[in-house]
Structure 1
Amino acid sequence: MESNKIELLLKKYFEGESSIAEEKELQKYFASAGVARHLEKYKSMFGYFAYAAAQDSKQETKVPQLSLNKKQNRVWLSIAASIVVLLGAGTYVYFDRQVSNQDLGTYDSPEAALKETQKALAMLSKNVNVGIESVIALEEYEDSKNLIFKE
């Protein structure tokens, strides 16, 4: 009779439906000497659970603390801030020099400058005209849509 009860408790245990009291009853049963032969395979598992519960898991861990006073903290903070400022200034100077070394299209003769300016303005005009053609096509679409749907 007791074996049937233990088998039912084991079934509930493995399905995750057992209560704490039922689990303690299982631990107590498997800790005893009268465990049925066909249930002995579970004895080591419940024995381990009892052993692990008996262990003291409250081990102290020490975290090393930095013992810096406020004056030392300020010194290190000011050093770190100085490094950040120097890196920022160095980065600005480095990239500023790269931009200033580029050829900005200066010409010695006014005729060459005029010719290049006319080329640039012609290219700009061409691209603007393409944009205007797109706007005209959109206006035609809008007119057609208004005729169909009559707002």
Structure 2
Amino acid sequence: MVLNKIEKLIEKYENGETTLKEEAKLKDYFSQETVAPHLQHYKAMFNYFSFNQQETFTKQLPLKTKTKFNYKWLSVAAVIALMVGFYFNQNETITEQDKQDYEKAKSYLQLVSQTLNKGTKQVEYLTAINQAGKQVNYLKEMNNPIERIYK
């Protein structure tokens, strides 16, 4: 009778359905010297669990992380960045030719802008058409006063 109960508990244990009390019964049974021969391999497992339960960890765990930011390397990197910047900036002097090219480009862009603005003046009548369309839509609403009430 006891053996049937132990076998059922083992089956529940393997399915992960046992309670703590049932597991304690299994540990008690397998801690005895007499265990059924077909359940002998479970004895080693439960003895291992009870042995590991007594084991403790005695080493000290570091709770704080030691992160130090090395400012010396940051200053070295900043100095290198400045030196590279000065080196590449040294060769970039603005010549008279560069100033003339800039002024030419500026005048060309102004000419393009003026031409585009002339084109927009010719299309200004479209805004009047849009306003007239809005007024016509308002008149359509006046034709159906019942729909206006429901809205």
TM category, shorter: 0.5 to 0.7
Query: Is 1:59 matched up with 2:63?
Result: no
Match of 1:88 among 63, 69, 78: 78
Give the Cα separation in 2 of the matches to 1:52 and 1:122: 86
Matching of residue 122 in structure 1 with residue 112 in structure 2: no
Flag the structure with larger Rg: 2
The amino acid of 1:16's aligned partner reads G
Aligned to 2:92: 102
Counterpart for residue 26 of structure 2: 26
Moved over 6 A (4+): none
Q: Which moved more, 1:25-34 or 1:84-93?
A: 84-93
Q: Distance between the aligned counterparts of 2:30 and 2:82, measured in 1?
A: 74
Question: 1:7-59 CA distances to partner (integer Å, 9 max, x unpaired)?
Answer: 2211222232322222121112112233223222322211211221232x131
Long gaps (5+) in structure 1:
64-76
Could you tell me how far 1:6 is from its partner in structure 2?
0.8
CA distance in 1, matches of 2:110, 2:77: 40
In structure 2, the residue matched to 1:50 is 50
Structure 2 unaligned segments of length 5 or more: list them. Answer: 63-68, 139-151
Q: TM-score, normalised by structure 2?
A: 0.54
Identity of aligned residues (%): 22
The verdict on how the C-alpha distance between 1:59 and 1:36 changes in structure 2, with shifts beyond 3 A counting, is same
Equivalent residue for 2:147? none
User: Matched residue of 1:34: which SS?
Assistant: coil
